[in-house]
Amino acid sequence: MKKLNLIESILIVIGLIMFGVGSKVQSVNTALPWLQYAGLGLVFVTGLGDAIYRVVTKHSFLK
C-alpha cells in the first residue's frame, strides 16, 4: 500500500508540474497548448483511481 501511495504521489506531482509549466511558460504554452490539460487530466485520473481503489477494497481515506 505504501508503494502505491508513493507512485500516486509522484504521478500527482508530475501532473502538477506539467500543468504549471504548460500554463506559466509562454513558449511551452505556444508550442504545446495541450500540456496543461494533460497535467490536469493526470492528476484527476490518479485521484479518481485512488478513490475507486479505496472504495472497492474498503480502505479508509483517513489512514
* Dist. CA 46–CA 60, nearest whole Å: 17
* Dist. CA 46–CA 12, nearest whole Å: 7
pTM for the whole thing?
A: 0.81
Q: What is the pLDDT of residue 62?
A: 64
Q: What is the pLDDT of residue 53?
A: 87
- End-to-end alpha-carbon separation of the chain, Å? 11
What are the residue ranges spanned by the domains of the chain? 2-57
Q: What is the pLDDT of residue 46?
A: 94
Q: Which residue has the cell 502538477?
A: 16
10-residue mean pLDDT profile of the chain (63 residues): values are: 84 95 91 93 94 84 62
Q: What is the pLDDT of residue 63?
A: 59
In 1-63, alpha helices (H):
2-24, 26-31, 35-57
Q: What is the pLDDT of residue 5?
A: 84
Q: What is the pLDDT of residue 10?
A: 94
